[in-house]
Amino acid sequence: MKQTWNQKVPFDLDRKRQLHYPEHKVLWRDNFIFEGNLIFKEFSRGRSSVIAHFDATVFDADRGGPPFLREMFDCSMFISDLGEAMRFLSNGALRGRFTFCKKGNNYGVKFLGNFD
C-alpha cells in the first residue's frame, strides 16, 4: 500500500475500528492509501463534527492478478468529505481508493476516487 500524509491514524487495539477521536489504549498506524469497499452504516454527531460510519473491506491489488481481501475494519468519514463522494455511492456502497485525514482533533477516511 502506498503511503500518504505523514501522520499516524488511531485504531483500536484489535485493528478493527478506525477511531474518530483518539482515546486511551490506541494503536497508532501509519497512514496509507487503500483500495476497497465502504458500506454505509449510520450517521452520528459529536461535539464538533458530523460523521458517517462505514464498514470497510480493504483489498490488496499490489501483487497483480485479482485483488484479495487484506483486512476489514469500521471507519468514519467527515460529512464534508462524504459530500464529494456522494455521486459514487451505489446502494449504500462506495468503491474506490481511500486514505485517512485529520480535521481538528478528529480523524476520518477520505475518498480519493474510483479504481484506476
Q: Say what the pLDDT of residue 1 is.
A: 42
- Across-strand partners of 45? 50
User: Mean pLDDT for each consecutive 10-residue tract of the chain (116 residues)?
Assistant: 66 87 87 90 85 88 56 91 91 92 91 81
Is the separation of the CB atoms in 104 and 48 below 8 Å? yes
Verdict on whether the full-model pTM lies above 0.75: yes
Say how far apart CA 103 and CA 108 lie, in whole Å.
Answer: 8
φ, ψ of residue 10 to 5 degrees: the values are: -80, 130
* Residue 110, CA distances (Å) to 35, 44, 91 in order: 12, 17, 19
Query: What is the maximum span of the chain, computed from C-alpha positions, in angstroms?
Result: 45
